[in-house]
Chain A
């Protein structure tokens, strides 16, 4: 069966520090991969998605970037964190079919101080 791992679970970082959140998927090949951010009372906002290695699409301009160095690995990064980057970050994968649901990791709670 397929599983998705996301880490770390929680992170407290000072403003201006770098960020690296990692996500890996097991049990499937060539998944579509996604990074969402969930702010309080605002639902889930899609940040990046990828349909293949080194194929990254950005949905919103921001202080963050994403990379997919391997088929089942998706990384969310920042060179310098802002206070506004605080939130709950969710990685997800889906199969390449329209009716395939998203399968989420357990999320990372990021607090920028």
Chain B
């Protein structure tokens, strides 16, 4: 079974600075997909960014980018120019390619990101 590990229960960063959230996963599959979700205090789950394992290029969405290291099974999220609205729980998630990913995503336990004004 696949597992997703987020080793940082909590991170703190100054507003306008850059922060990196770590995620590692364990899988025997060669094709899969990785996601980062944000959960603000409202508890709404919001997709931040996704990465296809077959792509070597790291995904980028505005101030959010990933560092995907397939051999190391590492998928970190970098947030540049941190803003107060970035404060939230961040979850890393994995989806296999096999079976069309019908059995959903496997999530890490999350990292609580605090933004210091």
> Which residue numbers of A lie inside 8 Å of B, CB to CB?
32, 34, 36, 41-44, 46, 49, 51, 57, 59, 88, 90, 92, 94, 96-104, 106-107
Interface positions of B from 78 to 113, Cβ below 8 Å from A? 91, 93, 95-110
Report yes or no: B97 in contact with A43, Cβ–Cβ below 8 A. Answer: no
Interface positions of B from 54 to 75, Cβ below 8 Å from A? none
| Contact with B97, one of A92, A96, A98 (Cβ below 8 angstroms) | A98
Residues of A within 8 A of B109 (CB): 41-43
Report yes or no: A101 in contact with B35, Cβ–Cβ below 8 A. Answer: yes
Asked whether A51 and B102 contact (CB < 8 A) given A43-B109, A107-B43, the answer is yes
- What are 8 contact pairs spanning A and B, CB under 8 A? A41-B9, A46-B105, A94-B104, A97-B101, A98-B98, A98-B99, A99-B52, A104-B45
Measured CB to CB, the closest approach of chain B to A71, in angstroms, equals 15
Report yes or no: B33 in contact with A98, Cβ–Cβ below 8 A. Answer: yes
> Which residue numbers of B lie inside 8 Å of A, CB to CB?
9, 31, 33, 35, 42-45, 47, 50, 52, 91, 93, 95-110
Number of A-B contacts (CB under 8 A): 67
Report yes or no: B96 in contact with A57, Cβ–Cβ below 8 A. Answer: no
Report yes or no: A107 in contact with B44, Cβ–Cβ below 8 A. Answer: yes
Considering the chains assembled together, what is the distance between the CA atoms of A104 and B37 in angstroms?
11
CB closest residue in chain A, given B4: A43
Report yes or no: A94 in contact with B44, Cβ–Cβ below 8 A. Answer: no
CB closest residue in chain B, given A104: B45
Asked whether A46 and B101 contact (CB < 8 A) given A98-B33, A101-B47, A106-B43, the answer is no
CB closest residue in chain A, given B52: A99
Report yes or no: B110 in contact with A104, Cβ–Cβ below 8 A. Answer: no
Measured CB to CB, the closest approach of chain A to B109, in angstroms, equals 4
Residues of B within 8 A of A88 (CB): 43
Report yes or no: A49 in contact with B107, Cβ–Cβ below 8 A. Answer: no
Report yes or no: A44 in contact with B107, Cβ–Cβ below 8 A. Answer: yes
Report yes or no: B110 in contact with A43, Cβ–Cβ below 8 A. Answer: yes
Considering the chains assembled together, what is the distance between the CA atoms of A74 and B45 in angstroms?
18
Measured CB to CB, the closest approach of chain A to B69, in angstroms, equals 19
